[in-house]
Amino acid sequence: MCGIIGYIGEIHATDGGVTGEAADDDTPGSVGEIVHRGLKNLEYRGYDSAGVALVGAASGLTVAKRSGEVGALSVPDVPDATLGVGHTRWSTHGPPTDANAHPHTDCVGDVAVVHNGIVENYEALKRELSDHEFTSETDTEVIPHLIEEELTGVDGDGDADLLAAVRRVEDRLEGSYAICAVREGDDRIVVARRGSPLVLGRGEDAAFVASDVTAFLEHTRDVTYLEDGDVAALSPDGVEIFASGEPVERETETVTWEADAAEKGGYEHYMRKEIHEQPESLRQTLAGRLDVDGGDVDLDVSFPPGFLADLEEIRIVACGTSYYAGRYAAQLFEELAGVRATVEIASEYEFGAGRTPDRTLVVAVTQSGETADTLGAVRRANAAGARTFAVTNTLGSTVTREVDGTAFIRAGPEIGVAATKTFASQVATLAMLAVAVGRDRGALAAADARSVLEDLQGLPGAVQQVLDEEKQVREAAREYRDSEAFFFVGRALGVPVALEGALKLKEISYDHAEGFAAGELKHGPLALVTPDTPVLAVLTDGARADETMNNVTEAQTRGAPALGCVSAGEEFGTLDVSFEVPDVGVVEPLVANVYLQLFAYHVANEKGRSIDKPRNLAKSVTVE
């Protein structure tokens, strides 16, 4: 989830920073300075590396890029530049290096491209471009080379129009993307969008394009949101937008947010923004990895020959939310891969006697890749001679250098301390790993694998359906916000979701919340149940809904209100509140979790809590 900024034209600041006529001494600086400031505004979308491409009539195309934060980027002085694009990266393909930083160029160095998203078919495209010189490990680099092919043609006399070239290239790309392309000698920025956001900023004598309006809000509040499939050209004369090759008009809106709200996409808190980003994050997690028809998964990871066939045990080590993702995954490994799986809190992990190191796989789950307790567990596993593997969100993090293999969840940066979208992407990645291991071991038939992959494929849409019901969740949160305590219950795959739901509520609302297996209610917790103790239950496929509901009824007879996340088409008439979960099979409990995230958020918001920075907590725990 990278950040893109593009600018063309001249700009004059007025009061409030909105485009319009003003005195010359109010101009904000050169094109390079404007693009660089836009990148700083977007750095929350990615901070692995940054770069710019500037185009001037005499100077031509100038590119500067480097790994590290935006502040470390030295933007060249190009006085005649009239347009430029910039990029701040969150690494997905290739580690955060100077070579992998955007912009990427063609062989000649006439075309520069910045890109957000994932080109799923980049390997096939790269093979087609075997006569081109590639200098990075990224999927993005195929795009400028494809544009180069379209501009020159095989025989050297192809169409020389950048807009037409981008249109044809866009038709060849699979996956999600937002693209900005510039060319030496061309006074336009050409952009295309499919699945990743792009918004245009319009001024009287300037135009902007960016991933978020925060990039240019200081300059203009008049914006146009591009739709999927749109291709646009920004020029000194204005903006042209095309859909299916035909000119179209898109509505111009006036943004009323302040700058800090714009950084959050108009949301009051990062946490809510990140809850709503889950469909996009899950699409990125799954992109290019599912072969549904073949019942196979490609996570771009490998194990020694025969290792998975001889595997006796998978031991998952993690902390907090990652631990609950691991608990969900352990059940999937046992069911889909036919291998014993255990989950341990990383700070408590020891390799333990009675295990064969060369037949044990230790999987570390860590969003940041820097969690001290998890790194300690990895080191103990390595010392014992076990094979180690990481599931993480961060390329170049410490854990990736200390394990034998890594799968990246590709969820994009998460700013809020309380993890939301990374939990969903962790479970999805681990589910794919379970399918891959099961298929390799011969424990999972192709037909059964296809069923699971179809469920995974439906995840983004199912989560969006839940998000569309946020008003109902907000009303429930308002009704129960003053409760004395909250119980979260489930069975089977519902248990880790109940635990995670309770964690979210306690993290940000500071209310007492407890999650546990529903069957444990009658073994002690019922003593705490009162009419001021709402019970939130996972009542979906994969969570043994009928048995769980029996336990919920026990709490209701003691006066407790009951809220349930229920599979579509099912009814539990005694529930006080029922949230419908779309039909996605084995990942239904994961979709139910989105309701619990929203419930926690709105309870905390009703109480006026510091949601993004809850007291006493940090985003990444780097000390033991």
- The catalytic residues are 2, 619
**CA distance to 4, 57, 225, 268, per residue, from 35 (Å):** 10, 18, 20, 26
* Contact (CB, 8 A) for 454 and 292: yes
- Euclidean distance between CA atoms 315 and 349, whole angstroms: 10
The rounded distance, in Å, linking the Cα atoms of 525 and 217 is 52
Q: What is the DSSP letter of 195?
A: B
Rounded Cα distance, 554 and 143, in Å: 60
Distances (CA, A) of 88 to 3, 71, 333: 5, 11, 36
- CA distances 200 to 128, 273, 453, 471, 540, Å, are 33, 20, 36, 29, 42
How far, rounded to the nearest angstrom, does the alpha carbon of residue 251 sit from its chain's CA centroid? 28
Distance, CA of 570 to CA of 112 (rounded, Å): 53
Cα(231)–Cα(197) distance, rounded to whole angstroms?
13
**Which residue, 155, 258, 208, 153, is CA-closest to 4?**
208
Token couple for 6: 């593009």
**Spatial contact of 96 and 67, defined as CB atoms under 8 Å apart:** yes
Cβ–Cβ < 8 Å for 385, 358: yes
Peptide bond into 279 cis (omega under 30): no
Give residue for tokens 């479970």: 427
Q: Find tokens 């060369």 and name the residue.
A: 358
